[in-house]
Amino acid sequence: MTIQIGDRVPSTNFVKVTAEGPQPVESDAYFAGRRVALFSVPGAFTPTCSAKHLPGFVEKADEIRAKGIDEIACTAANDFFVMKAWGAASEVGDKVTLLADGNGDFPKAIGLDADFSKFGMGTRGQRFSMVINDGVVEQLNIEGPGEFRVSSAEHMLESL
């Protein structure tokens, strides 16, 4: 079943990309007591993700934070090393926190996983964005297959 607005985010684990190296993060602790804008991409270094999705949130980060967002985070079913390299290549700096989810546990837990096997990518997360307020989904934007509109930074900014 797909997560809905008003639902609590289930407990899963991420690996946060930090300058000091990989930092294991439990979702309950990560989302507790703050408002996080989270977006999910099918994969680091993929065309739309690298050309539009991540750069949009980097570019609009200050405006999004000005609307009461404490942190902007991106997750993908990639390992820490891929996410770290993608962040460096994309020059995210401290604008967007990258959360590696190599096994795709988070999208599975919220019912937003997708089979990208025909592209040789296996099971990944769908393209989506959400605002999580103290662990509860406040806003949810799920893209249709092959689309990129409602999960964009621009759409999120307009919705806040």
**Using one digit for the tens of pLDDT, what is the confidence trace for 53-76?**
999 999 999 999 999 999 999 999
Q: Is 49 a catalytic residue?
A: yes
Residues of the chain whose pLDDT is less than 70? Answer: 116-117, 120-122, 124
**49 token code pair:** 């993700």
Residue 16 CA to residue 13 CA, distance in Å, equals 10
**CA–CA dist 7, 87 (Å, integer):** 30
Choose the catalytic residue: 9, 17, 38, 49: 49
Cα 95 to chain centroid distance, Å, stands at 13
**Domains along the chain with CATH numbers:** 13-159 (3.40.30.10)
Q: Is the entire prediction scored with pTM above 0.85? A: yes
- State the pLDDT at residue 67: 97
> With contact defined as beta carbons under 8 Å apart, do 53 and 19 qualify?
no
What is residue 113's predicted lDDT score, i.e. its pLDDT? 77
Give CA angle at 91 (62, 60), nearest 5°: 20
The separation between CA 127 and the C-alpha centre of its own chain, rounded to angstroms, equals 9
For residue 100, the model assigns a pLDDT of 97
If one counts every other C-beta atom within 10 angstroms of the C-beta of residue 63, the result is 14
128-133 and 35-40 beta bridge pairing: antiparallel
Closest CA relative to residue 46, chosen from 38, 36, 54, 34: 54
The predicted structure's pLDDT at residue 116: 64
Task: Please report which helix (H) or strand (E) contains residue 137, including its range.
Answer: strand 136-142
